[in-house]
């Protein structure tokens, strides 16, 4: 396991709807060999819904928004962003938002760093999934896996490389990215999504930013670290993890184990880059340290990298900084290009 402990010292606009494009049937308008620049228009504000600050995608010319990848929920949509230059097929970043499994969106500012992928020759696929208020575990991971299968099934049409896919997420998105990575060769988390089952949800690399891994250890690790948890006790019935699991995590240990990416580690897993701030008040740093050690035991040093960002909290500028993103894209380029 490669470790680099560095002191690396946050980055937003409404996503546009593709003009003239049906968001319910992307195949009619999807690029086939070369993505052509499309005119975009301002997304309409949904009545009665508070609009969170959105990631700036104004620099990306080629995009296809609100593509349906599943039939279980209206939440099952994804956005595709292509590099402004290049012929493709492009390697793919599956961008998974955070929000404690109970909030967040594929247009949120926590995807800012991932959108930089288009400047490095990657297509970025931002995924929405069912939140815990709509459906409990394993709905979210089942949706992300379904989205990956959809991308692979339509890779030729969308000018994407189905054999070069990375899952990248932060916080709850980090958990889901890690879970995609370790469970790619397992069918137990597919849930009720049955589309494109002839394709796997396996990925070639994972970028896990400060994801919670072992829910049952969150409280004790905070006590050991001396850091006051910003979100209170996680072993309570109203914690994000308990809402996600569908009951107090201390009383649903079997489900918690199934939501733990470490449960599924095998020698066939992809390469992992794990990054975490040492002053994180939302997810203890020890979560990533323990997970990286378990991965290394099976995969070896060459496939697991851990970076601890000294003094960094839960996301923000230290992760989005030019220096840190260079480390991330160096890792991805090494694996996928």
Which DSSP string corresponds to 232-278? --TTSTTSHHHHHHTS-GGG-HHHHHHT-GGGG--TT--EEEEEEET
Average pLDDT value for residue range 135-148: 98
pLDDT reported for residue 6: 39
Average pLDDT over residues 144-158: 98
Tokens read off for 94: 């599956």
Confidence at 2, pLDDT banded by 50, 70, 90: low
pLDDT number for residue 72: 96
Residue 38 has pLDDT above 50, yes or no: no
Please tell me the least confidently modeled range out of 71-80, 127-136, 181-190.
181-190
The pLDDT value recorded for residue 1 is 60
Q: Which two tokens stand for residue 33?
A: 């060999």
Residue 236, pLDDT score: 96
Answer whether residue 29 shows pLDDT above 60: no
What are the pLDDT digits (tens) for 291-308? 999 999 999 999 999 999
CB 305 within 8 A of CB 60: no
Q: What is the pTM of this model?
A: 0.87
Domains in the chain and their CATH numbers?
2-27+53-336 (3.40.50.1820)
Residue 225, pLDDT score: 95
* pLDDT value at residue 4: 45
As a whole number of angstroms, the distance between CA 146 and CA 39 comes to 29
Q: What is the token pair recorded at 54? A: 């959105």
pLDDT at 337 exceeding the cut of 90: no
Q: What is the mean pLDDT of the chain?
A: 88
The span from the CA of 35 to the CA of 81, in Å, is 10
Average pLDDT (274-300) is 98
CB burial readout 56-90, b (16+ within 10 A) else e: ebeebbbbbbbbbbbebbebbbbbbbbbeeeebbb
């Amino acid at each position: 396991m490669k470790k680099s402990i560095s002191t690396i010292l946050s980055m937003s606009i409404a996503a546009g709807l593709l003009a003239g494009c049906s968001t319910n049937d992307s195949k009619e308008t999807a690029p086939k060999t070369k993505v052509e620049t499309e005119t975009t228009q301002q997304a309409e504000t949904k009545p009665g819904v508070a609009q969170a600050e959105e990631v700036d995608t104004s620099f990306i010319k080629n995009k296809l928004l609100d593509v349906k990848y599943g039939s279980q929920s209206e939440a099952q949509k994804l956005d595709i962003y292509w590099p402004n230059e290049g012929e493709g097929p492009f390697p793919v970043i599956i961008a998974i938002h955070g929000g404690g499994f109970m909030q967040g969106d594929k247009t949120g500012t926590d995807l800012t760093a991932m959108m930089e992928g288009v400047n490095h020759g990657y297509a970025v696929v931002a995924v929405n999934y069912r939140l815990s208020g709509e459906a409990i575990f394993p709905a979210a991971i089942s949706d992300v896996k379904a989205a990956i299968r959809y991308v692979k099934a339509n890779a030729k049409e969308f000018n994407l490389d189905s054999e070069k896919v990375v899952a990248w997420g932060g916080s709850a998105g980090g958990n889901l990215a890690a879970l995609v990575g370790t469970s790619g060769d397992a069918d137990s988390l597919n849930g009720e999504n049955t589309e494109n089952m002839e394709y796997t949800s396996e990925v070639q690399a994972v970028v896990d930013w400060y994801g919670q891994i072992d829910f049952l250890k969150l409280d004790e690790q905070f006590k050991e670290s001396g850091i006051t948890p910003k979100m209170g006790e996680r072993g309570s019935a109203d914690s994000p993890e308990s809402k996600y699991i569908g009951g107090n995590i201390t009383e649903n240990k079997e489900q918690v184990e199934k939501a733990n990416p470490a449960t599924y580690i095998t020698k066939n897993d992809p390469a992992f880059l794990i990054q975490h701030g040492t002053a994180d008040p939302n997810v203890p740093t020890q979560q990533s340290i323990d997970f990286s050690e378990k991965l290394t035991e099976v995969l070896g040093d060459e496939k697991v990298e851990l970076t601890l960002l000294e003094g960094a909290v839960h996301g923000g500028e230290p992760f989005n900084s030019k220096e840190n993103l260079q480390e991330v894209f160096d890792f991805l380029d090494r694996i996928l290009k």
